[in-house]
Structures are given as C-alpha cells and as structure tokens.
Chains A and B, each alone.
Chain A
Amino acid sequence: MSRIGVFICHCGENISRTVDVERVALEVGKMPGVAFSTDYKYMCSDPGQNLLKKAIQEQKLTHVVVAACSPRMHEKTFRKAVEAAGLNPYLCEMANIREHCSWVHENKEEATAKAIEIVGMMVERVKKNRSLPAITVPVTKRALIIGGGIAGIQAALDIADCGHEVILVEREPSIGGHMAQLSETFPTLDCSQCIMTPKMVDVANHPKIKLYTHSEIELVEGYIGNFQVTIKKKARSVDEDKCTGCGVCMTKCPQKKIPNKFDQNIGMRTAIYVPFPQAVPNTPVIDRENCTMFKTGKCGVCQKVCGPGAVDFEQQDQLIVEAVGAIVVATGFDLYTINEKPKGSAIKGYGEFGHGKIPDVIDGMTFERLASASGPTGGKILRPSDGKEPKQIVFIQCIGSRAREKGISYCSKVCCMYTAKHTMLYHHKVHDGQAYVFFMDARTPGKSYDEFWRRSIEEEEAVYIRGMVSRLYQKGDKIVVMGSDIAVGVQVEIEADMVVLATAVMPQKGADTLAQKLGISYDKYHFYSEAHAKLRPVECATAGIYLAGACQGPKDIPETVSQASAAAAKVMTLFSKDQLEREPIVARVREAGCVGCFACKKVCAYGAVEEKEIRDRQGNLIKVVAYVNPGVCGGCGTCQATCPSKSVELDGYTDEQIVAMIEAL
C-alpha cells in the first residue's frame, strides 16, 4: 500500500494567483493512496524542502508528488531532497502546474480543475514508480573542442592547463577565428593580433593539446564521459611533419589572384597559401579548386621549389576516431550577407543597400581588414573601388538586426560598440575625414563601454544621427545615403565616399547540421540552446556537451572568453571523478518474454542492444535474447514501443506508469 505525499507549491503568487492551491491540496488529499497533502509558498526554498523531508519521515511516505513548476526546472532539486530523506529519488515525480497551467490560463475555476487533474495523473503514475539504482559509467578524461576561435582556444588552454588532454578541431586551415581578423578591439583599442597570436602559439606548443586544422566533425557517437568522435582531416596537400613553414612555395605559386576569404575577399592570395602570416599551424594548404596542378595536371612549381619535399598532391582526406569524455562547441558566428539570401532561410535580403553591387559599400568585418596593420592595405583606409581615401564615411547600424519584418528580431549586441570603434579608427587614420553614424539606439552596457562610445562622439567627432537609412545609390564616384534624423525630424542626405554596414551576427553556416550530429538543440536562427537561460548557461540539454562563445548567441570578446572558461570549468568538474553517475532511465529486457527477433536492435540509434545467449547447466544453447547495455542506452524508449512481445521496458517510463496516467484522466 502506497503512502503518497503531495506538496503543492504557490510559487510566490505565480501559481496561487490562478490556481486555488488550498482546494487542490484538499481534493488531492481525498485521492486513494494519498496519505498527506499540503501547500506551501515556496517548495523549492530551504524551508520548503525541509517540510518535504520532515513529512516523508513523520508520515512514513513511500512516494512523493511535488506540484510546482516544470520538471525541467526543479525535478533534480526535489529528487535530491527526497533522497536526503531516505527515499529513492525516482519515487518522486513533479506535476507541472505552473508552465502548463497557471501561467497559460486566466480563469481560476478552469485552471484549478486542470491542476487537480494534472496532480491526480501524477499520483497515479507515482504509484507505479520503482526504486531505480544509480548507474555509474567510466569517464574518459579527454575533451574535444569544436572551433578554434578565441572561445575554443580559451577553453582548450584552460582544460589543458589542468592536465587533461584536449583535441581542438578547426574547419579552416588556421586557428584564430574571427578575432584574428579584427584590427583593434573595444573598449581598450588593444591590437587584436597582439593579444590573440600569443594564445594561438600557446595552443600549438601545448603538450596536452592535439590540433586538427582543416578538419571537420564527421560523426559523434556515445554519451557523456564516453563519446567516440570521427574527425575528417581534409587533405592539405602539404605534409605537416615535413613542412618547415619557409613560405617559398607561396612566393613561387603562379596563381596569385585568388580572393582571400580571411581578408573578406579584398586581398589576394596564391593557390598554395596560409590564410594570414601569423597562422597556426604555419603550414600552407593547397586550394585544389584554384590550383593549376589540380585543374590541368601541369604546374607543380611548389613541389619543385619545396626543399624538404613536403608538397604531396596525392594526399587524401583522412578519417580519425578519437575517444573523448566531454565536448565543447565553440563554432562562433558568421555575418549576415545582405546581397544574397541564405539558402532555405526565412530571412529576407537587403538588396536596397547595394551591398555586393556598389563596391564601396562594405560590411564591418571588411572595414576591420582595411584598418588592420596586417590587412590588404597595410592599415590604410582605402576604398575598394579606386584605392582613394574616403573623406566622408557613413556607418549604418542594425543591418539585419532588430528587424522583425526581415526575419531577425534579436540585437547583434556588438555592432554599437564596434561602430564606435570604427569611427575612432577612421579618425585616427584619416584626420580630415568625417564619420556619420545612422543608429536606432546605442546599446553600450559593459565595463567602460558607454565611456568609449561617448569618446567617439566627443573626442573623435563622429556625428550620430538617430534614424534609419531608406535608400543608397551610386552617383558618380559618390554614394548618396538618404535617411531621416528622427531627433530633429528632417530628411538627411549625405554624399559619402564609403559606406560601412553593421550587419547582423548569425550562427555559422551548417550550425544545424553539426547540432544534428551532436544531438543538441538550437533556436530558430540556429544558435545553440543552453540547458537553462540563467542557471545553466554553458551546458547543453545533452549531457557532456558544453557551449562557448557566439555559437550560443551574439557575444563580444570578454563575454566569449568568460563563457569559454566557464565551459572549461564544467568540463573539469566532469573530469574530477573517475566514475560518473548517470540517470538510470534505461531500457531493460525481460528475458523470459524475449523471442530474440531483435527488432529493438534495428531501431536502436545507440547500438546499445547486444545479443545474449542463454544456456542451461550443460552449456546447451536455449535461446538468444536481447541485452541492453545500460552504459550505452540513451533512454529514448523506441525499443519498447517497437518490441512485438513487449519484453523490453524503459525504466521510469514503463507501460504501467503511462497507462496509469491515461486512466487517471
């Protein structure tokens, strides 16, 4: 006979405003099996949890239902409390009467009736709950970091400095990411290269970090503590062990006019190249699409001039399998390309701003390359069209961002600050030039940020115009910018030499495909979702996978670095134990009923189902049945729904429990 305790939370007023909690407690108290029923202001608080523990002991409760918020919020909290009181944690269930009831209904009568039913359903379910023993699995103390930008680098260094092995995978030929492209960084105007490249070198020299550049994630299998990751190492056509990085191949390559992606396509590179001089590793890669040797079969100059004989045209893509215990995803961002609509995207383009058509309309990242001392112009601000110095420059903020009708409703967060920085860099380099900024709002929260923004106006004489631009067009060698100044209420027309658009920060292309490989969730823009917006900001809902940097949402460098260190700390927490306790929600086979058809094995996405032979005492084979490896089982329950003889059951979600819930309705 079960003695169920039901605890109804007011959640301050969040629940009690629309649900008559006293009545729920009273009605539920009459349900068969319920021995104790009460309500309390904040069940999750310390006194609330103590009330729960005390009731379990005094009332000799066997099962507990807490009717409060979503189990996604506090299930762990209450299961821990129940465990502390001496019950198995899986004898506690939560009834969600906040997110699924009080917050979504206004009529008190209806909401109360619904709450009673929800609690009743969980009372019937909990009766069928069984004690589940914890399952422990070993932890592989190696971490995989996906993405070698500042986020990935910081996380890799933090984890490696703690003595754990790290595998860093980067898609591009060099690590460094977007930060390596920046000229100077707000709010201190540090040169980005100066603070970034030493970290890149640290990564390359760290004995605990294994670096795979020009590589991508092919396949991820396994689970927290025990992932198997297949990495595709794309053919570099240059042997990394032999190459000394002398660069002779690049000086001799006859293909010299290939737009360099690192320089936002305004600088040129050769077919055998390193994206930028400070690249790590400093090993060139052959761009096979543009290489004469690969296109025509004739050339091979680089191979001839290479002293150590490192150039290898025959090199193939390699697949490498690595075992890791934790994964940090740090794939970063991409900029909104306003002249083309991303394929299959709901986002509309911005053709009216002429980006991609008018050569002197550039985006913020291109301006960074122009301003960078190591950029294609050597740090001079010059127009891409004719190489002249622009004397009037217009910056337009919020291109793509905060424009719901264009498909992006979020704020890209960094544009206000980097535009302010751009006006300063421009004024430092073109003393007689004038910068104008069209803006909707200036958002400058952050240490020393507002002061920095003010400085761009007060000291660097940037003219800020509140309002949006309606149209841009080429007139001779000028670009006419038509907009409105809503503060004064007049139309503004500026004849500019160059226009810089602060385009929206978006997730990397292919972010959704990677998420599907990892089994993590993402939002409608394909930014990865954290497990909890406030309390678990660097963890994915999928255990063992952590997030760092702009792949989770637009972020500036200080935030990205903090998040990367936070993710590293989470990985280290996981690595601090040799054995990991996992949720015992796994499938179990009832061997007596199993006929060995292995339909379960076919549907199991984890490969958790094994064949087990049952023999008698003489060793004769009686039958072959399915066996679910509890370490590998993901706990989805597809096998149970598939099993024709109903011989496999998912602990925590048994047919009995579910039918009990349906019958309670």
Chain B
Amino acid sequence: MHPEKQKNDFEPKIIAFVCTWCTYAGADLAGTSRMQYPANVRVLKFPCTGRIDPVFILKAFQQGADGVLVSGCHPGDCHYIAGNFHARRRFAAFRKLLEFIGVDLDRLQFSWVSAAEGGKWVEVVTDLTEKVRAMGPMAEFKELAMEEQWSGAINTSELKEAYEAI
C-alpha cells in the first residue's frame, strides 16, 4: 500500500468541544450564513469551556478521534465570568501531559471563536481537518483501546474489592 495514497483517502474524525455561548453560536452563524466546511467535525456542546474535563479529550482520542478541537469565548468574554480562563490554564498544563504520553500536539487545537465569528469557525475547522488529514490516522490510542478495552465500569473483582474498601 502507498502510504501517501492512504493519507489522501483518509477521512479524519474530528471532535469539537465547544461552549454554548460563543463557539456553538458561532457555528450556528456559519450555518445561517450558509458557509461550507468539511463534514468531518462532530460538535459536543458544553455550557462553558470551564466544564471541559481533560479526560474528555483523552476519551475522544481513545474512541478514535483523529483530531480534537476545544473552543470557547475569547478571554474576557466568558458568559460565566472566568470559565475560559480556568480552561486555558488547565489545557496549558494538559498539553504538556499529552506531549509526554506521545500525542502529536498538532492533533489538538485550542481556539477562541466568538458568537460573531462564523467565518473563523469555518476556518478553524477546515484548517484542523486538512492538517489532520495530512497527518494520517491517529493510531496510537486506537491500538491501546483495542488492548485494554478500558471503561469506567467496575467489572473486575480487583476493582470491586478496591471500591468496596473505600
């Protein structure tokens, strides 16, 4: 198989975690303005970027996402006063961790898209999709997931024992 061809044929899966007030509204604006962008992105709505637990990003990669986008209100514009600042700090630290465990940071993008920036939403999504398409599928986590079949359920006797001991 030609690795190049494989990359071009590949349709990346992009998961976007967005806040409801700015970026979700910005994506709505892109829709009402009938702008066009690749159909690879799936949007998950949160009240605020402050609600986004880094675990969700790991979970997304584990579930086969090839790229993850986190986007909220511009600094200072948070509907919840300061949620995006907490998110910014959290993700600044989280990126270090991701780098450490070997995730290419180009697969994870943070951006600020306001409710008025339908065009920017299109740009961010298109750029990330094309970038990830060029990078090829995210193999590392998928393999791990196959090996471990990790889930939140307490389904082994060791786990049950440990849980009951709490």
Contact = CB atoms under 8 A, between A and B. Distances in A.
A99 B31 contact: yes
A662 B46 contact: no
B15 A653 contact: no
Contacts of B15: 662, 665
Interface stretch (B73-81, B99-107, B132-140): B73-81
A541 B21 contact: yes
A424 to B, nearest CB: 37
Contact of A104 (B31, B53, B63, B86): B31
A662 B39 contact: no
Interface stretch (A51-59, A114-122, A183-191, A496-504): A114-122
B31 A662 contact: no
Interface stretch (B1-9, B22-30, B154-162): B22-30
A516 B77 contact: yes
A662 B44 CA distance: 8
A26 interface: no
A529 B31 CA distance: 18
A637 B48 contact: yes
A659 B152 contact: yes
Given A516-B77, A606-B81, A638-B80, A103 B32 contact: yes
B39 A114 contact: yes
A187 to B, nearest CB: 32
B96 interface: no
A603 B81 CA distance: 11
B110 interface: no
A72 interface: yes
A661 interface: yes
Nearest to A638: B50
Nearest to B36: A104
B79 A659 contact: no
B116 A523 contact: yes
Contact of B39 (A111, A515, A521): A111
Contacts of B27: 99-100
Interface bracket on A: 35 or more
B80 A634 contact: yes
Contacts of A515: 77
B46 A653 contact: yes
Interface in B28-82: 28, 30-32, 34-37, 39, 42-48, 50-56, 59-60, 63-65, 73, 76-82
A105 B30 CA distance: 11
Contact of B115 (A118, A121, A529, A638): A529
A665 B83 contact: no
B90 interface: yes
A605 B63 contact: no
B96 to A, nearest CB: 17
A542 B28 CA distance: 18
A344 to B, nearest CB: 13
A653 B51 contact: yes
B114 interface: yes
A665 B63 contact: yes
Contacts of A642: 86, 90
A638 B51 contact: yes
A299 interface: no
Contacts of A555: none
Given A106-B36, A521-B114, A641 B79 contact: no
A655 interface: yes
A640 B39 contact: no
Nearest to A656: B152
A213 B43 CA distance: 47
Interface in A617-665: 634-638, 640-642, 650, 653, 655, 658-659, 661-663, 665
A632 to B, nearest CB: 12
Given A104-B31, A524-B116, A529-B116, A519 B79 contact: yes
Nearest to B39: A110
A71 interface: yes
A98 B15 CA distance: 18
A118 B22 CA distance: 20
B53 A100 contact: no
Given A104-B30, A524-B116, A662-B15, A637 B50 contact: yes
B83 A636 contact: yes
Contacts of A296: none
Nearest to A109: B39
A636 B50 contact: yes
Closest 10 A/B residue pairs (Cβ):
A99-B31, A637-B51, A638-B50, A636-B80, A605-B81, A636-B48, A103-B31, A110-B39, A99-B28, A523-B116
Interface of B: 13, 15, 20-22, 24-25, 27-28, 30-32, 34-37, 39, 42-48, 50-56, 59-60, 63-65, 73, 76-83, 86-87, 90, 114-117, 122, 152
10 contacts: A96-B43, A104-B37, A111-B39, A117-B42, A606-B81, A636-B50, A641-B51, A641-B87, A655-B53, A665-B64
